[in-house]
Structure 1
Amino acid sequence: MLRKATIDDIEKIYKLINEFATKDVMLPRSLSELYENIRDYFVYIQNGNLVGCSALHIFWKDLAEVKSVAVLESSQRTGIGKKLVRVCIREARKLRIAKMFVLTYVPEFFEKCGFQRVEKETLPHKIWSECVKCHKFPDCGEIPLIYELNKNNVKTTIDEISKINK
């Protein structure tokens, strides 16, 4: 079941994200950062357990970041990750955000979700505010991708309608 995260989920989100961070496949998140940004987060619950999370963070009137997409290794390759990204796309669309970006070490996954690779220089400088705090800055190796909601609007809307009708 996919839903908005609550305060009760924070410890589990923290553990999930930071397990991947210790493997250098995602950036760590502090408990204080998670509490401050809980409204950005979605979680996927399976058999009563939190098995995945994602977040949509608004940067400006036309730009948001999809971040902290994580799924327990035992639940990967089951479609949960794509659902967590799709819920961010739907939320961005509701908010009338024009573009979303992601910085990732696994660009192939996001390409399957409709994102396209771009050069880092094409992204606004504002997005690097979090990067300068990272221990890997400036040589992190994350790859930037963009999802333009206006370009992908018709396809996603048709997909959403067909899912509702099932």
Structure 2
Amino acid sequence: MIRKARLRDVKDIHRLVSHFAKTGQVIPRPLGELYEAVREFFVYEVPEKDLIAGACALHISWEDLGEIRSLVVSEEFQGTGIGAELVKACLSEARDLGLSRVFVLTVAPDFFEKLGFKLIEKSELPHKVWADCIRCPKFPECDEVAMVKDLETGD
């Protein structure tokens, strides 16, 4: 079940993000930062296992621009559609908030393309979005691509 994250979920989110940060799939996030950003996150909970199997955040970058970040799904649940559902929950919230565009920096462009995101040049994004990059272990040799989804037209 997908729901908004709660404070009790933060350590599980941190565990997932830390695991996938080691593989270079997401940027590492300190535990304190995740507590501060808990309202940005959706989680996929498996109640019968008392388990958080996935998480994804919608970060507001500007008055009309949001970012999908920290999309993580436990290996045992990958390929089941959980990642797509988490992204869709973030996109729904983005629409509810009145955002017109959402972007992602990703090493998995095929996944996001299936969800309607289109490749763009990183230089098309405002400089403000690069604040997290300085902490990334890949900086300045980034292998991520930028993608955007226009929410007003669905493009």
Which TM-score tier does this pair reach, normalised by the shorter chain? over 0.9
How much is the aligned-residue C-alpha RMSD, in angstroms? 1.0
Instruction: Mark the structure with the bigger radius of gyration.
Output: 1
1:109 counterpart SS class: helix
Matched with 1:118 is 120
Matched with 2:56 is 54
Q: How many residues align?
A: 153
Residue type of the alignment partner of 1:110: F
Uncovered stretches (5+) of structure 1, i.e. residues with no partner: 154-166
1:87-123 deviations in Å (ceiling 9; x for gaps): 0000000000000000011111111111111001111
1:26 corresponds to 2:7: no
Matched with 2:44 is 44
Residue type of the alignment partner of 1:150: E
Residue type of the alignment partner of 1:143: V
Matched with 1:78 is 80
1:144 corresponds to 2:142: no
Matched with 2:70 is 68
Residue type of the alignment partner of 2:40: D
For CA contacts below 8 A with separation 6 or more, give which structure has more relative contact order.
Answer: 2
Residue type of the alignment partner of 1:13: I
More helix by share: 1
Give matches, 1:2-17, under 5 Å: 2-17=2-17
1:36 Cα deviation from its structure 2 partner: 0.9
Counterpart Cα distance in 2 of 1:114 and 1:88: 14
Runs of 4+ with deviation above 6 angstroms: none
1:87 corresponds to 2:89: yes
Counterpart Cα distance in 1 of 2:17 and 2:132: 16
Residue type of the alignment partner of 1:28: P
Instruction: With the length of structure 2 as denominator, give the TM-score of the two structures.
Output: 0.95
Residue type of the alignment partner of 1:85: V
Counterpart Cα distance in 2 of 1:113 and 1:40: 20
Uncovered stretches (5+) of structure 2, i.e. residues with no partner: none
1:134 Cα deviation from its structure 2 partner: 2.0
1:152 counterpart SS class: coil
1:133 Cα deviation from its structure 2 partner: 2.4
Instruction: With the length of structure 1 as denominator, give the TM-score of the two structures.
Output: 0.89
